[in-house]
Structure 1
Amino acid sequence: MLRSIGVLLLTVIALQAQAKVDAVQASRLNGDLTPLGGERGGNAVGTIPDWEGGLAQPIAGYQAGMHHPDPYASDAVQYVVNSKNLGQYQALLPVGLKTLLETNPDYFLRVFPTRRSAAAPQSIYDATRFNALNAELISGGNGVQGAAAGAPFPLPETGQEAIWNHIMRYRGEQIHFVTNQAAVLSSGGYNLLKLERDIYFRYGREGVSPKDLDNTLFYYKYKVVAPAKLSGSALVVQETLDQVLSIRKAWRFNRGERRVRRLPMLAFDTLQPDTNGMATADMVDSYNGAPDRYEWQLLGKQELLVPYNSYAVHQKGLPYARILQAKSVNPDLLRYELHRVWVVEAALRKGFSHPYAKRRFYLDEDSWQILAVDLYDKNGELIGLQESHPISYYDVPMFGSTLETIYDFQGRRYFADGLDNNEPMYDFHAPLSPGDFTPQALRREGN
C-alpha cells in the first residue's frame, strides 16, 4: 500500500513539473527546427517552403504608423475552394471551415502560395532556447515556471504545453490601438463598437527574469469610444500567469453609475458584453486564461489551409461595410495558405459547464498563433468556427491577428473583432506602465 502511494506521488510530481528537454534536443532549435520549434524545412512536394527567417525587417516603402503594405501583393491566386469542389480539398480543411463552406454557398477560399512570414526578435529566440532547457509546467499544468519570455515549450509533448505556447507567445512589449467589433446578425445587420485599447506585457519584455514576473503575464485596458450611448465605459484586467494560484483581477467603470466595480469573475464561460452571446471570456485571442477546465490532448501536426498573411483585409481606408457582409466576412479580402499546424483538442472536464464542451485548436508551427478553432457543444455537434487572420507586423517584428471571427452555425451569424482600417495603426512604443492599469487609473479614464 505504501509503495503504491509512493508511486502515485512520484507520478503527480512528474505531471506537475515537466517539459524540460536535454541539450541535444534543445540544439535542434539551431538545426532542423526554427528558433520557436517549427520544422525549418518545407514539405516533400514543395507546397510548403523552407522557413528562412520570416519578415524580420520592415519592407521597402513602409513608414512608421502605416497600415502595413502587403509584401505579397503580386502573388496570384493558385486555386479557389468552394462548396462545389469541396470534396477535392476537404482533407486540407479544419472541420469548421469545411462546414462554413458547406452551409454558405457564397463563401470561398482564395488559396495563395505559402509564405512563411512569421518572425520575432532575436531576444525571443534566445529566451526560447533557454526555456527548452528550463521551463516546466506547475500546478497540474495550470501554470508555468522557469520562463520570462519566448515560447515556453518549443518542443511540446502535451496539449497543455502547446496551448501555453499560444498564451505566452510574443506580441510586443506594449501596444496602444483602436479597433471596432461587430456582431453581424443573420439579416446582415450590425452595430459597430469602437474600443481604445492598451496592453502592457510583463512576460516577453527584454531583460525581465522569471522572478520579476510576480505571477503576471500582462495588463489590459479598454475604453468604449463609440457609440455615444456607451462611450466612457471602461475595463481593466491584470492577467495572472497561474490563474489557479491567483485568478485574474478585473474592474469595470460603468459610465451610468460613475463608479468602478471589481468583477467577481471574468473568465471561462462568462459572456463578453456586446457580442450578442457569441463570445465567452476565454475566446479572446482564440484562447486565454487558465486551462484547468479542460483535458488537453496533442494530436500531432497536419498540413491544412488556414488564414495567413491577411494584408488585404488589413489595408487602410477599407469601409467596414465592405468587410462585414451577411453570413461572413467578405472572402474577396481574405487569404488562405497551406501551412503545418499543431492540432490540440480540449475536452471539458466533468463538473464544469461551458457552451463549448470540446474545442479543436489549430496552431501555426512558426509562431504558435492559433489560426482556427472548431467549436462543439455538449452533444458533440459542431456549432461554430473561430478564425484568426494574421499578418507579420514586420516593424516589431511580431506575427499576430489583424482580424478575428467567430461563426455561429446554428444562428447563421458571426462576430468580428479587430477592425482597424479607419483608425490609427497600432503603436508598439506607446508610453505605458503598470500604473496605467489600476482601479484608480480606470476611474481617471472614465472622468
Structure 2
Amino acid sequence: MKTILNKGCILALSLLTSQAMAAVSADEAARLGTTLTPLGAQKEGNADGSIPAWTGGLPKDAGKVASNGFLANPFGAEKPLFVITASNADQYRDKLTEGQMALFKRYPATYRMPVYPSHRSATVPAAVMQAARNSALYVQPVNDGDGVSNFEKSGYYAFPIPNNGVEVLWNHVTRYVGGNYWRSYIQVTPQENGAYTPVRFEEEQVYPAQVADFPPERKGGILYMVKQKVTAPARLAGTAVLAHETLNQTVEPRLAWVYNAGQRRVRRAPQIAYDGPGTASEGLRTADNLDMFNGAPDRYEWTLVGKKELYIPYNSYALESPTLKYDDIVKAGHINPDHTRYELHRVWEVVATLKPGSRHVYSKRHMYLDEDTWQIAEADHYDGRGQLWRVAEGHALFNYSQQASYLAVETLYDLMSGRYLALGMRNQEPGTTKYGLAAKYYDFTPAALRTDGLR
C-alpha cells in the first residue's frame, strides 16, 4: 500500500509539473487539428469566400517533380483576378502594407501586384504536426520571450497558440523548412539602372535531432547549425561562414565563425548577428534580415496587433521556374512583376520597437506572418528617425513533394537609395534544394570550415 501511495504521489506531482510547464492548457492544445489547423491557423475561410477554408493543403503528388527537384506549378493555368497598380492602390489600401503603398509611390510606372485566387496550399508531415502539439504543451518562453525552454520535447513551432508578439515571431524562427538540406542560390544587389553581378552561395543547414553524433549535452540549447560559402564571383569566392543558432541568445549568444579566403584563417564572428552587414550585400541588408528575420529578439519589444487580411506573395512557383533566366527576374527598381503572384491571406500582425538603450539600425519593424506557415511574408523597416526605409517581401511557395514551405525569392527594397537586394534565386542552378542531408557534427565545426573554404 505504501508503494502504491508513493507511486500515486509521484504520478500526481508529475501531472502537476507537466501542467505548470505547459504553454497552454491541454484543452486549448487539443484545438490543434480540430477547431484549428495542426499549426494553429483558423480552419474556416473568410466571410465572402475570398480566403477559402483549409482542407489539408496540397497532396504530395500535386504536380510533377523534375529529376533535379524543380516543381511543376499546380496553378499555372490561372489568370490574375485583377492587378493592383499605383493608380488603383488606394482602392485596396486596407489590405496592403505601408511598405507596399510606398513601393507604388516610389515606382508608379512599373511596380504592380497581380492578384490571383487564394489557395491554402501548405501543410506539414504528421510528425511535425505532432511536434507542434508537443510545443503547445511543453515549450515555455524564458527571459520575457528572448529564449525558449523545453524545445527538445518538440522541435518545431514553439508557440502554435501564441499569447503575444514574440511568441508569434518564435513560430517563424522555429518553423519546419524540410529538415536537413543543401542548396545553392543567387543573391543580387542591382544598381539603380538594373545592372547586377550575381553572387552564388552554397548552404547547408542541419538540426540536432537529425545529426547522429550531435553531442547530447548541447541538444537542448541549439536550434540548428548552418554553413554558407560564397563560390562566385572570383573576388568573393572562398569566403565561408558557420553559425550555431541557439535557443536563448541572451544566455548563450549565437556562435559564429568566418573563414577569410585572403587570410586563410578562421576567426570568431560576433558581427554575424543583429545589424551586422549581410554577406556580400553591399550594405543593403543586415545579418538579421536573412530569411526575413533571424536571430535573437531581445533588442525589441514585440507587440501583437492581431490578425488581418492582406495581399501577400504566395504560391510563387513561377518565380522559381527553370525556364526563367535571372535577367528575366532582376529589373531596375524591383523584380519583374510579370512573374510574381499575390493572394489574399490572413496574417498575424506584429510590431517590433527598439528597446530603450538597445542599438540597431532599424528602430521599428512591422511584420506580417502567414497564418498557415508562420513564414514572414511582409516586413517594413524604419530608420532611427522613424521613417520607412526598407520593405521586405518573401515570395513563398509550397514544396508539395517535401511538405515544406520556403521562399523562391526574398527581396529587400531600399526606398531611399532606389536599390534593392534579391536573394534565394535558383532558376539557373543545376537543381533546387536537396533534402535529407546526411551530416556529422564535425562537418559543422570551425576546423571543418577552413577545409570547406580551401576547396
How high is the TM-score relative to the length of structure 2?
A: 0.91
Work out the CA distance in 2 between the residues paired with 1:152 and 1:295.
18
Provide, for residues 376-428 of structure 1, a one-character-per-residue CA deviation record: whole Å limited to 9, x for no partner: 11222111101110111112110111110000000011000001101121100
Q: CA deviation at 1:204?
A: 8.4
Which residue type is aligned with residue 23 of structure 2? K
Which of 362, 383, 388 is the matching residue for 1:382?
Answer: 388
Which residue type is aligned with residue 384 of structure 2? K
Q: CA deviation at 1:433?
A: 2.8
2:73 is the counterpart of 1:31: no
Q: Secondary structure of the equivalent of 1:265?
A: coil
Alpha-carbon contact 1:286-1:370 (below 8 Å) kept: yes
Which residue type is aligned with residue 222 of structure 2? T
Match of 1:13 in 2: none
Match of 2:114 in 1: 110
Q: CA deviation at 1:317?
A: 3.5
Alpha-carbon contact 2:21-2:138 (below 8 Å) kept: no
2:219 is the counterpart of 1:213: yes
Which of 125, 131, 135 is the matching residue for 1:127?
Answer: 131
Provide, for residues 150-201 of structure 1, a one-character-per-residue CA deviation record: whole Å limited to 9, x for no partner: 2111111100100001000011221111101011121222111101111112
Which of 281, 289, 312 is the matching residue for 1:275?
Answer: 281
2:412 is the counterpart of 1:406: yes
Alpha-carbon contact 1:183-1:276 (below 8 Å) kept: yes
2:432 is the counterpart of 1:425: yes
Work out the CA distance in 2 between the residues paired with 1:112 and 1:211.
49
The alignment covers a number of residue pairs equal to 430
Match of 2:61 in 1: 58
Q: Secondary structure of the equivalent of 1:445?
A: helix
Which segment is superposed worse, 251-260 or 294-303? 251-260
The aligned runs of 1:36-435 (5 Å cut-off) are 36-105=39-108, 106-147=110-151, 148-202=154-208, 213-423=219-429, 424-435=431-442
Distance 1:318 1:121, change over 3 A: same
Which residue type is aligned with residue 35 of structure 2? D
Q: Secondary structure of the equivalent of 1:24?
A: helix
Provide, for residues 26-71 of structure 1, a one-character-per-residue CA deviation record: whole Å limited to 9, x for no partner: 1211222100000001001000001011124132422453311101
Which segment is superposed worse, 123-132 or 59-68? 59-68
Which residue type is aligned with residue 446 of structure 1? G
Which residue type is aligned with residue 87 of structure 1? D
Which segment is superposed worse, 50-59 or 103-112? 50-59
Which segment is superposed worse, 243-252 or 60-69? 60-69
Which residue type is aligned with residue 249 of structure 1? L
Work out the CA distance in 2 between the residues paired with 1:357 and 1:149.
31
Q: CA deviation at 1:205?
A: 8.8
Q: CA deviation at 1:18?
A: 8.3
Q: CA deviation at 1:133?
A: 1.6
Q: Percent identity?
A: 40
Work out the CA distance in 1 between the residues paired with 2:170 and 2:187.
26
Work out the CA distance in 2 between the residues paired with 1:373 and 1:204.
31
Alpha-carbon contact 2:63-2:72 (below 8 Å) kept: no
Which residue type is aligned with residue 433 of structure 1? K
Work out the CA distance in 2 between the residues paired with 1:364 and 1:214.
28
Unaligned runs of 5+ in 1: 1-16
Provide, for residues 79-99 of structure 1, a one-character-per-residue CA deviation record: whole Å limited to 9, x for no partner: 000001111111110110111
Which of 430, 435, 451 is the matching residue for 1:444?
Answer: 451
Alpha-carbon contact 1:200-1:434 (below 8 Å) kept: no
How high is the TM-score relative to the length of structure 1?
A: 0.93
Q: CA deviation at 1:214?
A: 3.2
Work out the CA distance in 1 between the residues paired with 2:269 and 2:171.
28
Unaligned runs of 5+ in 2: 1-19
Supply the RMSD in Å over aligned alpha carbons: 1.9
Q: CA deviation at 1:310?
A: 0.4
Which residue type is aligned with residue 275 of structure 1? S
Which residue type is aligned with residue 55 of structure 2? E
Work out the CA distance in 2 between the residues paired with 1:66 and 1:342.
31
Work out the CA distance in 1 between the residues paired with 2:60 and 2:210.
19
Q: Secondary structure of the equivalent of 1:36?
A: coil
Q: CA deviation at 1:211?
A: 7.6
